[in-house]
Structure formats: C-alpha cells, structure tokens
Amino acid sequence: MSDDLSPIHNRVTQLLGVDYPIIQAPMGWIARSQLASAVSNAGGLGIIETSSGELDNVRAEIAKMADLTDKPFGVNIAQAFVRDPGIAQFVIDQGVRFVTTSAGDPTKYTAQLKAAGLTVFHVVPTLAAALKAVAAGVDGLVVEGGEGGGFKNPRDVASMVLLPLVCSRVQVPVVAAGGITDGVSMAAAFALGAQGVQMGTRMVSAAESPVHDHWKQAIVQAAETDTVFLNRFSKPGLRALRTERTSRLEHQDHVEMSEMATALDLYFGGDMEASIALTGQVAGRIDAVLPVEQIIHDTVREFRHTVRELAQHG
C-alpha cells in the first residue's frame, strides 16, 4: 500500500484548514481535549462537545486545546441538549472557527454563528432536513446514516441510500457520518458524493478516548448485529451497544432519557450495565484499540489505495 500521507485537497479540507477531511464526532463527555487534540494533531479535525451541558468544563477543555495543538478544531452544538440559551454566543466567545450544529432546527443558530465569521455545518438524517439546512445558509452538511451510533431519527436511513440522495440535491460540501471506520468506508462515502467523513464509534474505541476500557473492548468484541435501536416508535431514537440492559429496553415502547442519568458510571466507571453505550453498527468492523494517529493515517493510506484500485478497474 502506498505511504502517501500528503494532504488531501478538496472543499472540506479548504473550509476546515486541515490536511485530511476526517472529523472526529462530537460525543458528550468523550469529545474533549485528550481525544480532539490527538485527532487535530494527526491532520484531521477534532471536535469538542457541548452536549454534556457542562459549559465550564467545556470552556476549560477548549482552553487546553491551545496547549495541546496548534491545528484547527471545532465545537458542536447538539441543540436537543442545549440548556443555556446563550450557547451560540458561548461558542463564538471561545474563538473557534468551525462549528457543527445537530439535533435541531438549522434556522436557530446559523445566521448568528455565520455573522460572527464561523463556518457552520449542520447534521442531517434526511433529504428534507438537508434542504432546510441549505436554505438556512449553512456552509456544509454532515449527512448521518442510521447505522451510526448516538441519537437518531426513528425513521433511520442507511448511508448507502441517504448520501447519494442528498449529494445529488445540494451544492454544499457533504461530510458522511455513520459506518465510517477506515479507508474503504471513506472511499465508499466519496464515491457516493461526500468530500469528508466523520467517525464516532471508531473514535470512542481509540487509545486516546477517555472512556473505560470495558467499553472499548466491548466495541472490539461486537459483531455487526450487536447494536440495538431504542425508541423506534417514540423519541428520541438512539442506537446503542447491545447489552443485557439495552436488550430489555429494545422491547419497551418508550425509553426514558433518565436511563442516561447514570451514563458516567458506564462511560468512565466501566459498568456496561449501568446505562446506555451509544455505539454504531460499525463496531462490528473494529477489531483493535488503536492510537488516533494510526487510525487516521491508515485511513488516508487505504483511501488512496482503494481509489487507485477502483480507477484501474473502471
């Protein structure tokens, strides 16, 4: 395989100011400076979460980023979790240049964030949501297939269908999320029209991820069938790792979000039955805990190799 780690030049890397169009997903409590700085230092884009709602800690984590990396990074506003009405101004005040908004109405913060000079990508699970975000003036989209981990539209659509559909209807650059873990999945996303990828589950399992090793090992052990979809006929839908607890919850008409109240006992205490471990189907393709730099560089190498192979056979 080629060892070409030269920068990839496209609209996403241009907008983000990074070498590789590989974004680390925002994830409550997990997407903090330890993980995000490793991603940015490896040439991707680290993202700091705000969905924990712990804005004092988030502010401190953003300040730490300045010590840990001189590369760009971003912040996510997961709108469904926003408790502070001043969240957009909070993000602007932190001096970051890139923000993703998710789980909410794109008309709510886009104008304010863009007026302050930020680049705004909105996360969408459907074509209708994509068109609404484009109309709201976003710079790009994160198109999130239903195979991904985390909070999901109960009417989930797989990336294989959603990506080409959205990409055929919008002009803004698209980042693919859901099921991306390596160079072949990145190449597939690019074939479907994306110009960037976002990795969630892969980054939960990375060496620099702050979560307990029990969760990382559960991802490594998981088969592709080892996630459950909770709240299929209710809200909010979410995809999580199959455990005894979530196998029971899967059959409930409605899963209360109080189930997440003990999330930190699972995330950092390692008690896999304490709460819900948000995880995507791609866990079935992850078989080792690897350092972020290796994940990103292997992805770039395999992406280039795959694209060249495909070109030869075309």
Do the bridges between strand 73-78 and strand 98-102 make them parallel or antiparallel, or are there none, so unpaired?
Answer: parallel
Does position 144 interact with ligand FMN (CB under 6 A)? The reply is yes
Cβ(33)–Cβ(10) below 8 Å: no
Structure tokens at 197: 């990828």
Q: Considering only residues 22, 91, 177, 238, which one is a binding residue for ligand FMN as defined by CB under 6 A? A: 177
* By CB under 6 A, residue 194 contacts ligand FMN: no
Q: How far is the C-alpha of 175 from the C-alpha of 30, rounded, in Å?
A: 21
Cβ nearer to ligand FMN, comparing 178 with 237: 178
Q: Name the strand (E) or helix (H) holding 309.
A: helix 292-313
Residues with Cβ within 8 Å of residue 67, at least 6 apart in sequence: none
Task: Evaluate whether 63 touches 26 at the Cβ level (below 8 Å).
Answer: no
Q: Does 196 bind ligand FMN (CB under 6 A)?
A: no
- Partner residues linked to 144 by β-bridges: 177
H/E stretch holding 77: strand 73-78
Nearest to ligand FMN of 4, 60 (CB atom) = 60
Nearer to ligand FMN, 28 or 196 (CB): 28
Please report the sign of the dihedral spanned by the C-alpha atoms of residue 163, residue 22, residue 80, residue 95: negative
| CB of 78 closer than 8 Å to CB of 200 | no
Residue 253 structure tokens? 């008409």
Size of the site for ligand FMN (CB under 6 A): 30
| Using rule CB under 6 A, residue 150 touches ligand FMN | yes
Counting contacts by CB under 6 A, is residue 193 touching ligand FMN?
no
**Binder of ligand FMN out of 141, 186, 228, 278 (CB under 6 A):** 278
Q: How far is the CB of 169 from ligand FMN (least distance, A)?
A: 20
**Binding pattern to ligand FMN, positions 200-229, x when CB under 6 A?**
xxx-x-------------------------
Burial class (CB within 10 angstroms; exposed 0-12, middle 13-18, buried 19+) of 233: exposed
Q: Which of 37, 51, 69, 243 binds ligand FMN (CB under 6 A)?
A: 51
The least distance separating ligand FMN from the CB of residue 120, rounded to whole angstroms, comes to 13
Asked whether the bond before 236 is cis by omega within 30 degrees of 0, the reply is yes
Q: Which of 41, 79, 209, 279 binds ligand FMN (CB under 6 A)?
A: 279
The stretch among 58-66, 89-97, 172-180, 305-313 that binds ligand FMN (CB under 6 A) is 172-180
Q: How far is the CB of 256 from ligand FMN (least distance, A)?
A: 18
Residues that bind ligand FMN (CB under 6 A): 25-28, 30, 49, 51, 76, 78, 102, 123, 144, 147-150, 177-180, 198-202, 204, 278-280, 282
